[in-house]
Amino acid sequence: MRKKVALALTALFILNSFFITPSVQAANKKFTLTSPVVKEKGMLPAEYTCDGASATPELRWSNPPKGSKSFALLMSHIPPTGPGGPETPHWYWIIWDIPTNIKSLPKNSTSIGKIGGNSVNRNIGYAPPCSKGPGEKLYTYTLYALSKSANLGDASTGSVNRELLLSAISKITLGKATLNVNYTRPEGATDGPPPPPQ
């Protein structure tokens, strides 16, 4: 009797290994956004800020939701709530209509997708972190997987801001992946010059 029970349990374990475990593993695959230059909650190298070369960092993603037809990217900083209430979010980088065959953005990416404006200057494209005041600041890259195009136009334009992007994708977002990074400006640093017009 004990031998039969042991054989039954062994067979059940084998079936679970071949049929149940892979499906569970597939379901647990998470939509992720990473960068080879900075880890989650890590310190963003100065090269990607106004204290360095103002370069855009390389970003990579994996396991987008099934049915994704397009990607959009937003880099933002939401200041902590002060005595007068929450401050206005700042945004530094907006891209939409990133094709789903793209799984990464190279350093200094300017030719993938359509590019919007930023809250730092009137230029189209990336505005590097150049926050005023001392202390560590948190910046968030958010990649949105969309069920269709954001429908924000066929060309890059500075008129696309954070609010417009979020409104356009609010009902077509299948999932999102985030990468949070920190940056502390060097002691004595002043506001750097804005990046050249693109």
Tell the burial category of 73 from Cβ atoms under 10 Å away from its Cβ (0-12, 13-18, 19+): buried
In this structure, the answer to whether residues 21 and 104 fall within a common structural domain is: no
Q: What average pLDDT score do residues 156-164 get?
A: 95
Check whether residue 91 and residue 142 sit in a common domain: yes
The DSSP-derived string for 79-99 is PPPBTTBPPPPEEEEEEEEE-
On whether the CB atoms of residues 93 and 165 are closer than 8 A, the answer is no
Is residue 170 very low, low, confident or very high in pLDDT (cuts 50, 70, 90)? very high
The number of folded domains in the chain is 2
- Mean pLDDT (the chain) is 84
Query: Does residue 94 form part of some domain?
Result: yes
What band does 13 get if pLDDT is binned at 50, 70 and 90? very low
Domain span at residue 91 reads 31-184
Same domain, 9 and 36: no
pLDDT band at 29 (very low <50, low <70, confident <90, very high): confident
182-196 pLDDT per residue, tens: 999 887 676 554 444
Residue 79: band (very low, low, confident or very high) from pLDDT cuts 50, 70, 90: confident
pLDDT above 70 for 40: yes
| Domain presence at residue 192 | no
Whether the Cβ atoms of residue 37 and residue 45 lie closer than 8 Å to each other = yes
> Could you tell me where the DSSP H helices lie in the chain?
2-15, 21-27, 162-169
31, 64 Cβ separation under 8 angstroms = yes
Give 83-104 pLDDT, tens digit per residue: 555 568 899 999 999 999 999 9
**CATH code: domain of residue 152:** 3.90.280.10
Same domain, residue pair 22 and 103: no
Residues 4 and 84 in one domain: no
Pairing between β-strand 42-43 and β-strand 104-105 as defined by DSSP bridges: unpaired
Give residue 134's pLDDT band: very low, low, confident or very high (50, 70, 90): confident
The C-alpha atoms of residue 70 and residue 87 are separated, in whole angstroms, by 31
Residues 4 and 68 in one domain: no
Give the contacts of 147 (CB within 8 A, at least 6 positions apart).
67, 68, 69, 172, 173, 174
Mean pLDDT lowest among 18-27, 54-63, 131-140, 156-165:
18-27
Closest CA to 104 of 33, 26, 180, 40: 33
| Dist. CA 154–CA 151, nearest whole Å | 8
Q: Are residues 43 and 71 in the same domain?
A: yes
Span 115-142, mean pLDDT? 91
